[in-house]
Amino acid sequence: MSLPTPGTDLRNLWQSQETERTVVPLEQIQMKARKFLTKNRRDAIARFAFAFLASVFFVFAVMTTRRTTVRIVAIVVMAMLLTNAAQRLYRAYKPRAARPTDGVGSPWSSCVEFYRSELEKQRAFASQPVWQMLAALLVIAWLVPDALHHSPDPFRISLPVVLFAAAGLLVLVALRKFQAHRVQRDIDALDSFENENFPGGIDDSTIRK
């Protein structure tokens, strides 16, 4: 590669950099697309099968236990597992049309719009609604006295399990909040990136070296 001399355009230098000229054959791309689809479907089926088996177990727990708290928790978990698995299965098998927001249809929107939608998706995932956290805290508050009542000896199994689950839940909530805060910062930075403008623009000739 030739050495740059003063006045050499950085852009020329950039464009002339050596590349490996990777060519991805069409067959490989088609195969990858098929593999991706198959894997998605397989995962969805496996998840649904797992949710179904877990539900059988939960139904059994609901029918045999006398403790109301265990019944309620089992029913809630079962409902969440089944809904989630069914949604995934539906998404994996429904006929796909190109949408402006997903990967395939992304070129319909500009890069900034796409980046914003991805950040917002991430923020929605990370930030939980207040009712979810309150519900979790209520369940914990309900379980702890119950566990204490049924476990006169604190080293028996139910109390440590409940406390460990509560601590784990609180850590998870804190992590999610931190993640949501970070994503929000990125969205704010994107806002200022979009809004910032010099009135009337800039005369390009004044900045040529």
Partner 1 sequence: MPDSGDRNELYHQVIGAHGRAIERLARAYEADPDRRQDLLQEIHLELWKSLAVYESRCALRTWVYRVAHNTAAKHVIRRLRTKPEVLVSLEEIPKLVDDRKQATDTDSREVIKQLMELVHLLKPPDRQLMLLYLEGIDTESIAEIIGLSSGNVRTKIHRLKAILARRFHQGATA
Which residues make up the interface to partner 1 (CB under 8 A)?
1-11, 13-17, 19-24, 26, 28-30, 32-33, 36, 98, 103-107, 109-115, 118-119, 122, 179, 182, 186, 189-190, 193-194, 196-198, 200-202, 204, 207, 209
What is the smallest separation between the CB atom of 63 and partner 1, expressed in angstroms?
Answer: 41
What is the smallest separation between the CB atom of 102 and partner 1, expressed in angstroms?
Answer: 10
Task: Return the amino acid letter for 185.
Answer: R
Q: Which of 92, 85, 76 is nearest to 53 (CA)?
A: 85
| All residues at 6 or more sequence positions from 143 whose CB lies less than 8 Å from its CB, including other chains | 69, 73, 162, 166
Q: Decide whether 20 or 153 has the Cβ nearer to partner 1.
A: 20
Chain centroid to CA 130: how far? Answer: 18
Q: Decide whether 11 or 149 has the Cβ nearer to partner 1.
A: 11
Q: Decide whether 55 or 122 has the Cβ nearer to partner 1.
A: 122
Measured CA to CA, the distance from residue 15 to residue 17 in angstroms comes to 6
SS3 97: coil
What is the smallest separation between the CB atom of 179 and partner 1, expressed in angstroms?
Answer: 8
Measured CA to CA, the distance from residue 83 to residue 68 in angstroms comes to 23
What is the smallest separation between the CB atom of 65 and partner 1, expressed in angstroms?
Answer: 39
What is the smallest separation between the CB atom of 171 and partner 1, expressed in angstroms?
Answer: 17
What is the smallest separation between the CB atom of 126 and partner 1, expressed in angstroms?
Answer: 9
Quick check: 123 and 187 in contact, CB under 8 A?
yes
Torsion on CA atoms 72, 75, 78, 82, rounded to nearest 10: -130
Half-sphere exposure of 133 (CA within 13 A, CB side): 12
Quick check: 75 and 62 in contact, CB under 8 A?
yes
Q: Decide whether 114 or 142 has the Cβ nearer to partner 1.
A: 114
